[in-house]
Amino acid sequence: METTDQATEGDPLKTGEDGAEAGTVPSATELKRKSCKELGFSKLSHWRTAVFFLSLFLCLTIVFAFSFIIPCPVRPQYLVTWNSSFPGAATYNFLAFEHANEDKVMDVLFILKTTEVTQNRSCADKGLSSPCVFLLALDGTHGENLWDCPLEPDFHWAQCGLERETGRTWDCLLSHSDKLTAIDKRTGTKIWQQSQPTGLRSSAPVLSVPDLDGDKVGDVALVASDNTQTQLVLLSGKTGDQIGTTVVLDSTETASHLLHRTEKGSYYVLLQKDTGLYGWALWKIAAKAKAGMDMGLKKDQHLERNASGTDGLVPIYESEVSRMLKTDETDDSSNLLVVAGKEVALLDGKHLELLWRFNTSSVLSEPSFGHFNKDGLIDVVIEEDIGNNTKRIIILDGKTGGVLWEVQLLASPNSPRPVSIDTTNYFSVFMFWGLMPSESNSSEPVTSERRSYMLHPLYSNAVLESTNVVDHIIAFKATLMERGRHAAYILLIGPKEEGAEGTVVLSKRKLKQDVPDSKVLRFGDGTTKSNEDIKEAFNRLRFSDW
């Protein structure tokens, strides 16, 4: 029979745990040693428990203390819609969105011509004749007046957004009466005020140019023109003083102008003339304004090879140009869209060369931009006049110029140009105005009907129709009021004639607020989704400025 020296369950008394034979009574010394070991382990266990609970108490104390010392940021609570009315006032086609206070919601700036905006804020209080011009900032959350700045009448033009990355302490520049006034967007304070430069009256836009006078603050350029010449004036961004002398270009009238930066870093003032689009190098302008002044401005030798020997202009696009605009207003190097005769053309921003051309009969309004597909390139929205009081809304592919989407509408008067707002899904929601032919009431003239439509690119065979605006629209813009959350459109409503006296209303409406009461209209090969599914797709959207 096999035997073993190891203890088993069947033979429990074979050997003890400590190596002693089973049944052997331990000695007093061994019992004492064992008791001491158990006592040591017991004390160590108590200390560990105490240290653990002490650490936990300290952690909880720190967490609760900082919860009260550094509270979580509070999101601004906004109204989904608000209206501000100003009776006995006049307004103009100007709307700007800026952060005029410390919350994260964009605020609205606009122009009002009136005697007073409140009982405590009147033209007389500032020693001005009545009515005078007010630049007002309304809170984007509730529509309350943040500040107002009274100015001498009459109003000519205004531009905001001029503070960004320039070192300037002001954001808005206004041309009014015989003055130019720079205003701080946060307080409405006048930073500087200068008399209008002698010569022709300038027109918008203001050109934000690099620092030319060495004060480490970006400067500005103003362009003025009549049918005999074009003038350009350089102003200090810090003080508004003129830099050098006025530069005169003896040529035909300039209808519009922009500032562009090429791939080489060279700045050009683009001039829209009746014979085409031309570039005027900023280094040439600076040198003429003040002999030898260029402040290290770069030259683009590639473009300068084509410069005219008489006036120094570089031909960019020679055709009967009616409009030109940037695809990105915040980027001086963005691509350029040119509307010329019966065509729309896109120019490469790096080299100012043609990318594509689209033939059209006649473009009604200023084109706009958005993302219909997800290729990352901005697409173009135009309104084409096709006759019989009908227009065609066309979305052109930014890469090829091909048609991505189109629809025909009745061309209702006083219809704002199309707009779009970007979403976190890398496409845009489009909004446009007019009247679907199927919705027209034949017993009433088209002039009495105007509706707004929203397009979701993933449901391109349907649009949402709204009928919530019936008054005369002076200005209309859509924007992202708060990043990722709060897309809205702003309407400035007033008398039919710009600048005429009447009741002026500025209203904000959250974009999604129109969805529940909208009507789903289908066309083409209809989607299988229900009306509720399409509306829910709009409600699920989250917005972004990328």
The whole-number average pLDDT for the span 443-461 is 80
Out of 2-6, 180-184, 226-230, 395-399, pick the least confident.
Answer: 2-6
pLDDT of residue 338 exceeding 90, the answer is yes
What is the rounded average pLDDT for all residues in the chain?
Answer: 87
- pLDDT attached to residue 395: 98
- pLDDT attached to residue 354: 95
The whole-number average pLDDT for the span 300-316 is 91
- pLDDT attached to residue 320: 87
Task: Kindly report, residue by residue over 249-302, the tens digit of the pLDDT.
Answer: 877 789 999 999 999 999 999 999 888 999 999 999 999 998 556 668 999 999
- pLDDT attached to residue 5: 42
Q: CA 354 to CA 315: how far, in whole Å?
A: 13
Angle, CA of 412, 339 and 92, to the nearest 5°: 50
- pLDDT attached to residue 119: 76
pLDDT of residue 514 exceeding 70, the answer is yes
- Reference 186, options 137, 143, 151; nearest CA is 137
pLDDT of residue 178 exceeding 90, the answer is yes
Residues of the chain with pLDDT > 70: what percent? 86
Specify the DSSP element, H or E, that contains 451.
Answer: strand 451-455
Tell me if the bond preceding 215 is cis, omega within 30° of 0: no
pLDDT bin (cut points 50, 70, 90) of residue 60 is confident
pLDDT of residue 25 exceeding 70, the answer is no
Q: CA 109 to CA 145: how far, in whole Å?
A: 10
pLDDT of residue 6 exceeding 50, the answer is no
Place of tokens 């990318």: 355
pLDDT of residue 12 exceeding 50, the answer is no
- pLDDT attached to residue 528: 77
- pLDDT attached to residue 516: 94
- pLDDT attached to residue 336: 97
The whole-number average pLDDT for the span 1-12 is 40
The whole-number average pLDDT for the span 440-455 is 70
pLDDT of residue 172 exceeding 70, the answer is yes
- Reference 409, options 450, 360, 469; nearest CA is 450
- Reference 471, options 440, 494, 489, 441; nearest CA is 494
DSSP structure class, residue 479: E
Out of 388-392, 445-449, 484-488, 491-495, pick the least confident.
Answer: 445-449
The whole-number average pLDDT for the span 124-128 is 91
- pLDDT attached to residue 22: 43
Task: Kindly report, residue by residue over 379-395, the tens digit of the pLDDT.
Answer: 999 999 999 999 999 99
pLDDT bin (cut points 50, 70, 90) of residue 44 is low
- pLDDT attached to residue 270: 96
- pLDDT attached to residue 120: 79
pLDDT of residue 186 exceeding 70, the answer is yes
Look at 165 and 471; give whichever has higher pLDDT: 471
pLDDT of residue 332 exceeding 50, the answer is yes
pLDDT bin (cut points 50, 70, 90) of residue 8 is very low
- pLDDT attached to residue 13: 38
Question: Residue 506: which residues within 8 A CB-CB, separation 6 or more?
Answer: 83, 84, 86, 108, 110, 138, 143, 490, 491, 492, 493
- pLDDT attached to residue 461: 93
Task: Kindly report, residue by residue over 87-107, the tens digit of the pLDDT.
Answer: 999 999 999 999 999 888 999
Q: How far apart are the first and last CA of the chain?
A: 86
Order of all β-strands in the sheet with 219-225: 202-209, 219-225, 230-235, 247-249
- pLDDT attached to residue 26: 54
pLDDT of residue 11 exceeding 50, the answer is no
Residues of the chain with pLDDT > 90: what percent? 66
The whole-number average pLDDT for the span 179-188 is 96
Task: Kindly report, residue by residue over 360-380, the tens digit of the pLDDT.
Answer: 989 999 999 999 999 999 999
Task: Kindly report, residue by residue over 200-256, the tens digit of the pLDDT.
Answer: 899 999 999 999 988 999 999 999 998 889 999 999 999 999 999 999 987 778 999
Look at 446 and 393; give whichever has higher pLDDT: 393
The whole-number average pLDDT for the span 112-126 is 89
Q: Which amino acid is at 7?
A: A
- pLDDT attached to residue 450: 87
